Amino acid sequence: MSNLARILVVDDTPRNVKLLADLLGVKGYDVITAASGAEALEQVRNTQPDLVLLDVVMPGMTGYEVCRRIRDDPATKRLPVVMVTALDPAEERIKGIEAGADDFLTKPINQPELLARVRSLLRIKSLHDQVEESNRTLEQRVAEQVEQLERLSRLKRFFSPQLAELILSGGAEDPLKSHRREITVVFLDLRGFTAFAETAEPEEVMSVLREYHAEMGRIIMAHDGTLERFTGDGMMVFFNDPVPVPDPAARAVRMVLAMQARLHALLAQWSKRGFELDFGAGIAQGYATIGAIGFEGRLDYGAIGTVTNLAARLCGEAQPGQVLISKRVLASVEELVEAEPVGALPLKGFGKPVPVFNVTGLKA
């Protein structure tokens, strides 16, 4: 134990106080004193000693009452207290234990015994302090981990687990802060879903949606896409945010073609159950403003810009089974895919007809 430990000596007799203070001071301890119970409690509050040597017999408030008050205060309940008395040791020891004292010394004080007991109690206090500090550190770490898990859970609503963990680890900037970036946007929806939902049982509709969302969700995560929204049978996914990725347009096209292949199998299964559904997709590339949209307690991650409108319009124009892309996307993926021109289509919200292409597959 460090010799800088602070010891409070409480005794109403100045000679006794000086004797103990001199003895402990020579040994390197920082000694403070009090001449009454009230003064002792004030010193405990103000100076935070590491140990108290407390006389039993004092006017106004006995050492036992001081000890009980020290024990009743959560901030000092573990503070070592040594009772000192010239009264009958056997009787006073019991009273001291009942009051919460840690040890007991009889006057006249044996100096080697006093120093030994002080060292022992300070050692024990040091161990208690280390344990409490470890517990506080552990509680803080647990609280931080819980907070991180809650943040991770929120982020996983928007991003793949890999991206969410990258954001938490500091590998990406805060994605919920509004920012501008070039992205590739994909819109996808099921054709014939409205008619299906009007005629099928609600349980059947939910079953189809669960299969659709689960299968498409796996493919989105496998390609590191960011799911912006589910709208029943439709969804919007974009690439190159919150973490920039190489070849976002190529990733988007590969993802949609993987979805197309998986949907062929699902559509066949649904058709056997009497559900006539198909799909269409649109892909566009351009700049958007991206970030959290909503209010505290209900936030969505959204992208706003012409590029999102174009992708939505292309998806709306797609015939069953088609994947329509903009000219800008084609320029980025023309070495990867086979595509055929559809022509310049008049799209709502666009002043001029927009050149559109249909992706028929990957090049051999």
**Residue 297 within a domain:** yes
Burial class (CB in 10 A: 0-12, 13-18, 19+), 179: middle
Same domain, 128 and 267: no
pLDDT at 125: 82
pLDDT at 166: 62
Judge whether 228 and 159 are in contact, CB under 8 Å. Answer: no
Distances (CA, A) of 35 to 63, 105, 238, 241: 11, 18, 76, 70
Q: What is the mean pLDDT of residues 221-227?
A: 87
pLDDT at 269: 93
Is pLDDT at 159 greater than 90 in this prediction?
A: no
**3-state SS class at 281:** strand
Is pLDDT at 172 greater than 60 in this prediction?
A: no
pLDDT at 277: 94
**Residue 322 within a domain:** yes
Q: How many CA atoms lie within 13 A of 298 on its CB side?
A: 1
**Residue 231 within a domain:** yes
**Residue 350 within a domain:** yes
Kindly report the CATH number assigned to the domain that includes residue 89. 3.40.50.2300
For the chain, the distance separating the N- and C-terminal CA atoms, rounded to the nearest angstrom, is 77
Q: 10 Å Cβ neighbour count for 30?
A: 16
Tokens of 183: 């992205």
Question: Distance between alpha carbon 10 and the CA centroid of its chain, in Å?
Answer: 49
Is pLDDT at 2 greater than 50 in this prediction?
A: no
Same domain, 127 and 212: no
**pLDDT digits over 308-318, tens only?**
999 999 999 99
**pLDDT digits over 25-50, tens only?**
998 899 999 999 999 999 999 999 99
How do 6-10 and 30-34 pair as beta strands? parallel
Alpha-carbon gap, residue 315 to 326, rounded angstroms = 11
Q: Comparing 3-12, 187-196, 254-263, which segment has the lowest mean pLDDT?
A: 3-12
The residue from 134, 157, 187 where one domain ends is 134
**Residue 150 within a domain:** no
Q: Comparing 128-137, 141-150, 186-195, 329-338, which segment has the lowest mean pLDDT?
A: 141-150
Mean pLDDT, the chain, whole residue set: 86
Beta bridge partners of 85: 106
With a CB cutoff of 8 Å and minimum separation 6, the contacts of 341 are 355, 356, 357, 358
pLDDT at 348: 93
Burial class (CB in 10 A: 0-12, 13-18, 19+), 220: buried
Structural element, H or E, at residue 299: strand 298-304
With a CB cutoff of 8 Å and minimum separation 6, the contacts of 48 are 6
Distances (CA, A) of 334 to 259, 359, 363: 20, 10, 9
Alpha-carbon gap, residue 8 to 279, rounded angstroms = 82
Q: By C-alpha distance, which of 165, 173, 305, 296 is closest to 228?
A: 305
**3-state SS class at 67:** helix
**Residue 89 within a domain:** yes
Beta bridge partners of 30: 6
Same domain, 119 and 231: no
Distances (CA, A) of 180 to 67, 183, 187, 243, 302: 65, 9, 20, 12, 12
**Residue 164 within a domain:** no
Judge whether 234 and 187 are in contact, CB under 8 Å. Answer: yes
Q: What is the DSSP letter of 11?
A: -
Same domain, 209 and 315: yes
Judge whether 98 and 127 are in contact, CB under 8 Å. Answer: no
pLDDT at 140: 82
**3-state SS class at 96:** helix
Is pLDDT at 190 greater than 90 in this prediction?
A: yes
The residue from 102, 134, 166 where one domain ends is 134
Q: What is the mean pLDDT of residues 85-93?
A: 73
pLDDT at 290: 84
Judge whether 154 and 240 are in contact, CB under 8 Å. Answer: no
Q: Give the 3-state secondary structure percentages of the chain, helix then strand then coil, rounded to 5.
A: 45, 25, 25
Burial class (CB in 10 A: 0-12, 13-18, 19+), 141: exposed
Q: How many domains does the chain have?
A: 2
More confident residue, 171 or 230: 230
**Residue 117 within a domain:** yes
Kindly report the CATH number assigned to the domain that includes residue 180. 3.30.70.1230
pLDDT at 265: 93
Confidence of residue 155 (pLDDT cuts 50, 70, 90): low
Q: Comparing 56-65, 145-154, 263-272, which segment has the lowest mean pLDDT?
A: 145-154
Same domain, 214 and 94: no
Domain enclosing residue 324, as ranges: 174-362
pLDDT at 1: 41
Alpha-carbon gap, residue 239 to 260, rounded angstroms = 18
More confident residue, 62 or 156: 62
With a CB cutoff of 8 Å and minimum separation 6, the contacts of 203 are none
Alpha-carbon gap, residue 115 to 120, rounded angstroms = 9
Q: What is the mean pLDDT of residues 350-354?
A: 94
More confident residue, 213 or 106: 213
pLDDT at 285: 97
